[in-house]
Amino acid sequence: MNLTNVNSPIKLENGVEIPCVGYGTFRTDPAVTARAVQDAIEAGYRHIDTARIYENEEGVGEGIRVSGVPREKLFVTSKLWNTDRGYEETKAAFQASLERLGLDYLDLYLIHWPANEKQFGDRAAQINADSWRAMEELYEAGRIRAIGLSNFMPHHVKKLMETARIKPMVDQIEVHPGWPHTDEIIKLQDMGILVEAWGPLGGQGSVVLQNPTMKKIAEAHGKSTAQVSLRWIIQQGVLPLPKSVHVERIRQNMDLFDFELSDDEMKEISSLSGLGGQCADPDDVDF
């Protein structure tokens, strides 16, 4: 992969191109979302990631409109929330997301979390299959350019593939130093799925950015710990979705293409542990 800037394209299995860094909006206050998205687009991001549950889709849509950048130059993702699982429900939830965003298609739509056996017992797989069937139909009808998953571990993907007609193109999972998911990333990539990283800086109030190893490596490259974290993700062929509402950081989080981490640095970062983040196990969550 020859990535030279925040919008260098990565080709999904269906040929659709996705800019290699996305602007994340998880935990962005709805009241400031439009402004933040506009700032991000002005800074140069063309890939914006939101979700129904973030309650800021309206702000994302407004930021896009105000930016003046033509819709087709942007890559917009949203996600199906857990209370909307099921065939009919997925179609209705997709339409409602589009309306909140004020868009007439999405570039990418993801199932936000797998229905798990802890909550749904034997019905879990069928619920995921039903949601996916609706996603496939929306994709085939041209309403979404690519479809995928979020928080599905390789075993959830394999189960889904027993009934899926179309293979998911993307899986967005939590990835940051301290919660590296290294084996899962390799397994998903081996399936031809692009892995995206949510919480790539360790999330709100994380200690990733204060970690002494991260600081040492950052100093060696004249970069910030946030940039090292994002670069470590990119060098694994994973697409990071950093969130910030501050212009200075929004810019910093794009400036990742003038340095390279050595193999030893990559390994050192991957072996950090206990650095917080959400570290949610999709088989164990109760939502």
26 counts as binding ligand A2P under rule CB under 6 A: yes
Residue 267: partners with Cβ closer than 8 Å, 6 or more residues away: none
- Residue number, 46 or 176, with CB nearest to ligand A2P: 176
The helix or strand, by DSSP H or E, that contains position 176, with its residue range, turns out to be none
Q: Which stretch binds ligand A2P (CB under 6 A): 82-90, 105-113, 193-201, 267-275?
A: 193-201
60 counts as binding ligand A2P under rule CB under 6 A: no
226 counts as binding ligand A2P under rule CB under 6 A: yes
Report residue 58 as tokens.
Answer: 């309206």
38 counts as binding ligand A2P under rule CB under 6 A: no
- Residue number, 172 or 253, with CB nearest to ligand A2P: 253
210 counts as binding ligand A2P under rule CB under 6 A: no
Report residue 87 as tokens.
Answer: 């065939």
User: For residues 218 and 259, what is the distance between their CA atoms, to the nearest angstrom?
Assistant: 11
33 counts as binding ligand A2P under rule CB under 6 A: no
Longest dimension (CA), the chain: 53
- Residue number, 211 or 224, with CB nearest to ligand A2P: 224
243 counts as binding ligand A2P under rule CB under 6 A: yes
Provide, rounded to whole angstroms, the least separation between the CB of residue 244 and ligand A2P: 3
247 counts as binding ligand A2P under rule CB under 6 A: no
- Residue number, 168 or 177, with CB nearest to ligand A2P: 177
209 counts as binding ligand A2P under rule CB under 6 A: yes
Among 22, 24, 61, 114, binds ligand A2P (CB under 6 A): 24
246 counts as binding ligand A2P under rule CB under 6 A: yes
Residue 22 DSSP one-character state? -
Q: In the annotation, is 54 catalytic?
A: yes
Residue 78 DSSP one-character state? E
202 counts as binding ligand A2P under rule CB under 6 A: yes
Name the percent of the chain in helix, strand, coil, to the closest 5: 45, 15, 40
Report residue 152 as tokens.
Answer: 């599905």
Quickly count: other Cβ atoms within 10 Å of residue 189's Cβ: 15
- Exposed (0-12), middle (13-18) or buried (19+): which is 190, by Cβ within 10 Å? exposed
Among 65, 221, 249, 270, binds ligand A2P (CB under 6 A): 249
Among 214, 232, 253, 269, binds ligand A2P (CB under 6 A): 253
How many residues belong to the site for ligand A2P (CB under 6 A)? 19
204 counts as binding ligand A2P under rule CB under 6 A: yes
Q: Does the annotation list 176 as a binding residue? A: no
CB 154 within 8 A of CB 163: no
Residue 74 three-state SS: coil
User: According to the 3-state scheme, what is the secondary structure of 124-162?
Assistant: HHHHHHHHHHHHHHHHHCCCEEEEEEECCCHHHHHHHHC
Residue 12 three-state SS: coil
Q: Indicate which residues carry an active-site annotation.
A: 54
Q: Which residues bind ligand A2P (CB under 6 A)?
A: 24, 26, 199-204, 209, 224, 226, 242-246, 249, 252-253
Q: Which residue ranges make up the annotated binding site? A: 112
